[in-house]
Structure 1
Amino acid sequence: MAPKILLTAEQIQRRVKEIGQQISRDYAGKNLMLVCVLPNGFVFAADLLRAIDIPVSCQFVQPHKQSTPGDSSHVNIHYGSAFDVKGKNVVLVEGLIQSGHTTEFLLRTVLSWNAASAKLVALIDKQSARRVPVQADYMGFILEETFVVGYGMGDPEYGRNLPYIQGEAR
């Protein structure tokens, strides 16, 4: 079966602009930091950063989930460089939320580092895959496809450069 386009580049860009405007309004006059969750969030974070019209800093984390028998929620976080969130309003930028384990861990971690606040923005939310109660404060789209490719998401070898998002059977 051929891949099906789920979201066009135009739909994505329109929604990213709307989210950027909302974040700009919500954080006007506040110390805002975006924390991009790699790898799926990098294209979304870049476009969102440009859509925000207030001062904002940006950092990156790359979580690695390790499953062990009886514990599927152990997460290690790797940083491009050390950064300080103390007193900052952090918005975690996810390209895709599925089970929510990693996202929930990252939000708790940011708050434990004494951030003023921690919110979540996600381009794609697969709510049917959720295993922990985590909700995006800013959401692009709800999609329930089993595997999405494009706009920075998908296989490392294929499709991350697509300007749209397509669904593929796996």
Structure 2
Amino acid sequence: MKRIKLLDREFELSIPYQEIDEAIEKIAVKMNKELAGTDPLMICILNGSFMFAADLMKKVDFPCEISFVKLSSYEGTGTTGTVKELIGLTESIEGRTVVILEDIIDTGITIEKIVKQLDGYKPKDIKVASMLFKPDACKADINVDYVGLDIPNDFIVGYGLDYDGYGRNLPDIYTVVE
């Protein structure tokens, strides 16, 4: 397996870009069926979801808008357990279908917070799309409508995910070597 080093950690290739792209295609096909005619607002959670959002937006074939919010709950290789809102939403979502685009759902803390916040703005519907999902790590009671890949509860980098800011630019996903 291909190995890389970021800062003080080694990582090995776990999900090549081709597999990521196929998972995104699967999500897009489902969205194209379910969201046609709804004019949704896609909300990309920064920083990690930027690559997923960009690739997904190329594959959906219905009219939609995209906006960006920035939430943070990670430091190093673990969650801090708290979510800090850094940049908020400026568009009105009242009466609209909203689709949250997340890079990864592990504990579910971040997505649970944003769904609760968005629900207060009275959208018609809130859907959640996540490129990656860690079912063994999820502690929140959340509904994930679109999942690219279920993965084990390992620390990963690449394809928008980082280790202390590094690795987001990698097209593949790598797992930390313990």
TM-score range, shorter chain: 0.7 to 0.9
Structure 2 residue corresponding to 1:33, chosen from 31, 38, 41 = 41
Mapped partners of 1:145, 1:101: distance in 2: 15
Mapped partners of 1:106, 1:80: distance in 2: 10
Letter in 1 for 2:171: P
Deviations 1:71-103 (A, max 9, x none): x86544233661111111111011011111121
Structure 2 residue corresponding to 1:136, chosen from 134, 138, 144 = 144
Q: Which residue of 2 aligns with 1:51?
A: 59
Gaps (5+ residues) in structure 2?
A: 4-9, 75-79
Gaps (5+ residues) in structure 1?
A: 67-71
Deviation at 1:136, TM superposition (A): 1.3
Structure 2 residue corresponding to 1:97, chosen from 94, 101, 105 = 105
Q: 1:11 to 1:74 in 2, by over 3 A?
A: closer
More helix, by proportion: 1
Q: 1:152 to 1:127 in 2, by over 3 A?
A: same
What's the secondary structure of 1:129's corresponding residue? coil
Contact 2:137 2:153 in 1 (8 A): no
Identity percentage of aligned residues:
27
Aligned length: 165
Contact 1:149 1:155 in 2 (8 A): yes
Deviations 1:83-136 (A, max 9, x none): 111111111011011111121111121121111100111111111111211231
Letter in 2 for 1:13: D
Letter in 1 for 2:87: Y
Mapped partners of 2:94, 2:177: distance in 1: 43
Structure 2 residue corresponding to 1:107, chosen from 110, 115, 127 = 115
1:147 aligns with 2:155: yes
Q: 1:113 to 1:143 in 2, by over 3 A?
A: same
Scaled by the length of structure 1, what TM-score is found? 0.88
Q: 1:54 to 1:105 in 2, by over 3 A?
A: same
